[in-house]
């Protein structure tokens, strides 16, 4: 019986190895969103140009949608942009944009150059809406359900794989939920 | 020459000082409020750079967060209300010091438990050694074996 005690360090080691091994699979720099399953905070942002309308949180009620935070100053956003264009062309889900801390005119010039995947774009020049949304960097994308609640947040670039493996299935699930 | 060198030195000192302290961009007029703001900056994490407080960070987002802190203080909120405001948006992570609550209990208690456990183990070990020391004074070798060892080492 007392010999079994000798195995205690080994057992402890095994438990810690499994625990820390699981920890290694997580990204510690990713801060969990406080908004999951909660309604979007209220915002009412002006348009970035005459061509596209501005954005308020009530625009996102009524259908499942993507809310993408971007900036013309943000290199990963340029990487992500073709994917957003592809999603917009597919017509699976409408995309709304928040132009985060861009100087006047920069966001609209950027969309003119690269194409506009957004239904509406709000101009968050002061960055306050981004803080209300708990944004830590651009790009970030929220999936909003038909009741205007945040159901998912993706930090970083939406790649083809992220879209097909994670976002699209969830969007379709929420659309089915909304249709019920 | 001397004047030129000292001017150069002054220039270097000034530029290095300017670069070394990104520092809070805008100050509050009321020194008491400004002091509170500085303490709050140090308690809030920059969510971009993550290992820095917003007091030390010159990231644009940290700048915005400092502006939020100043606005809230000017609006007459207490320090706790300002921290709550940002905590509601960024979670516990935004606080440099993790709060003591159910899911952080382990974080706070484990170091103390390990210390107490180690201290208790040490005390038990020392006491048991002490007790044994009283019973037999020699090193545990019987005299015959001791002699054999001595011979091997060429001592006798």
Question: What was the pLDDT predicted at B23?
Answer: 47
Hey, what are B141's tokens?
A: 């070798």
Helices (H) and strands (E) in chain B, counts: 6, 0
Query: Distance between CA A61 and CA A42 in Å, rounded?
Result: 12
Q: Give me the residue from A31, A101, A127 closest to B90, CB to CB.
A: A31
Q: What is the mean pLDDT of chain B?
A: 81
In chain B, the percentage of residues whose pLDDT exceeds 70 is 76
Rounded CA separation A25/A179 (Å) = 36
Burial of A9 (0-12, 13-18, 19+ CB in 10 A): exposed
More confident residue, A64 or B100: A64
* Inter-chain touch B64–A29, beta carbons under 8 Å: no
Average pLDDT over residues B2-24: 57
Cβ of A32 within 8 Å of Cβ of B64? The answer is no
| Chain B neighbors of A135, CB-CB under 8 A | 61
Mean pLDDT within B13-39: 71
State the average pLDDT for chain A: 92
Report chain A residues whose CB lies below 8 A from the CB of B86.
131
Pair of tokens at residue A97: 């944009």
Among B34, B13, B32, B31, which residue's Cα sits nearest to residue B23?
A: B34
- What pLDDT does residue A180 have? 82
pLDDT for the residue numbered A165 = 94
Q: Which residues contact A172 (CB under 8 A, 6 or more apart)?
A: A92
CB contact under 8 A, A134 and B68: no
| Per-residue confidence band for A5, with pLDDT thresholds at 50, 70 and 90 | confident
ipTM of the prediction greater than 0.85, yes or no: no
Give the CA-trace dihedral at A38, B47, A141, A153, to 10 degrees: -40
- Lowest pLDDT segment from A85-89, B55-59, B115-119, B150-154: B150-154
* DSSP annotation of A37: T
Look at strands A65-70 and A55-56 and give their pairing. Answer: unpaired
Q: How confident is the model at residue B24 (pLDDT cuts 50, 70, 90)?
A: low
Tell me the two tokens of residue A172. 């379709």
Measured CA to CA, the distance from residue B71 to residue A157 in angstroms comes to: 32
Whether A127 sits inside 8 A of B50 (CB atoms) is no
Q: Could you tell me the pLDDT band of residue B100, with boundaries at 50, 70 and 90?
A: confident
Render pLDDT for A53-108 as a digit per residue (tens, 0 to 9).
999 999 999 999 999 999 999 999 999 999 999 999 999 999 999 999 999 999 99
Q: How many CB pairs under 8 A join A and B?
A: 41
Q: Choose among B50, B89, B93: nearest Cβ to A131.
A: B89
pLDDT tens for B29-79 read 888 999 999 999 999 999 888 789 999 888 889 999 999 999 999 999 999
- Per DSSP, the residues of A68-127 read EEE-TT-HHHHHHHHHHHHHHHHTSS-EEEEEESPPTTHHHHHHHHH----S-EEEESSS
CA angle A49, A51, A56 (to 5 degrees): 70
* A163 neighbors A87 (Cβ within 8 angstroms): yes
pTM: 0.75
Share of chain B above pLDDT 90, in %: 44
All structural domains of chain A, each given as residue ranges with its CATH number in brackets, are 35-179 (3.40.30.10)
CA distance A107 to chain B (A): 17
Flag whether residue A156 sits within 8 Å of chain B, measured between CB atoms.
no
A27 or B16: which leads in pLDDT: A27
Q: What is the rounded distance in angstroms from the CA atom of residue A29 to the CA atom of residue A113?
A: 33
Q: How close, in Å, is residue A89 to chain B by CA atoms? A: 32
Integer angstrom CA distances of residue A112 from A109, A117, B127, B128: 5, 11, 80, 81
B75 touches chain A (CB under 8 A): no
Q: Which one is predicted more confidently, B6 or A69?
A: A69
Distance from CA of B107 to the nearest CA of A (A): 15
What CA–CA distance (Å, rounded) separates A64 from A84?
16
* Chain B neighbors of A126, CB-CB under 8 A: 64
pLDDT of residue B101: 86
Q: Do B65 and A131 touch (CB under 8 A)?
A: yes
CA distance A148 to A133: 13
Question: Rounded mean pLDDT of A133-142?
Answer: 93
Partner residue facing A101 (CB), from B60, B90, B94: B60
B50 chain-A contacts, CB cut-off 8 A = 29
């Amino acid at each position: 019986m007392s010999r079994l005690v000798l195995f205690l360090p080994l057992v402890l080691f095994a438990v810690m190895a499994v625990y820390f091994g699981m920890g290694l699979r997580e990204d510690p720099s990713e801060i969990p969103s406080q908004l999951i399953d909660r309604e979007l905070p209220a915002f009412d942002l002006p348009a970035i140009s005459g061509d596209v309308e501005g954005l308020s949180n009530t625009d996102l009620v009524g259908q499942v949608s993507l809310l993408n935070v971007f900036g013309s100053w943000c290199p990963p956003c340029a990487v992500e942009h073709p994917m957003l264009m592809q999603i917009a062309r597919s017509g699976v889900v409408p995309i709304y944009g928040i132009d985060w801390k861009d100087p006047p005119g920069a966001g609209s010039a950027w969309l003119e150059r690269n194409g506009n995947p957004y239904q509406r774009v709000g101009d968050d020049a002061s960055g306050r809406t981004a803080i209300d949304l708990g944004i830590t960097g651009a790009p970030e994308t929220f999936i909003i359900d038909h009741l205007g609640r945040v159901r998912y947040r993706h930090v970083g670039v939406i790649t083809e794989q992220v879209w097909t493996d994670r976002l699209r299935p969830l969007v379709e699930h929420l659309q089915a939920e909304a249709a019920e | 020459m001397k004047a030129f060198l000292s001017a150069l030195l002054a220039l270097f000192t000034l530029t290095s000082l300017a670069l070394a302290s990104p520092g809070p961009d805008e100050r509050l007029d009321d020194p008491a409020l400004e002091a509170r703001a500085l303490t709050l900056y140090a308690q809030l994490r920059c969510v971009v750079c993550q290992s820095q407080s917003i007091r030390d960070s010159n990231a644009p987002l940290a700048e915005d967060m400092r502006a939020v802190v100043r606005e809230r203080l000017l609006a007459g909120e207490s320090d706790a209300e300002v921290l709550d405001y940002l905590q509601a948006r960024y979670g516990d992570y935004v606080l440099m010091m993790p709060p003591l609550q159910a899911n952080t209990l382990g974080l706070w208690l484990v170091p103390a438990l390990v210390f107490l456990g180690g201290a208790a183990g040490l005390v038990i070990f020392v006491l048991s050694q002490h007790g044994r020391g009283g019973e037999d004074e020699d090193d545990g070798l019987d005299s015959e074996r001791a002699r054999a060892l001595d011979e091997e080492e060429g001592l006798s």
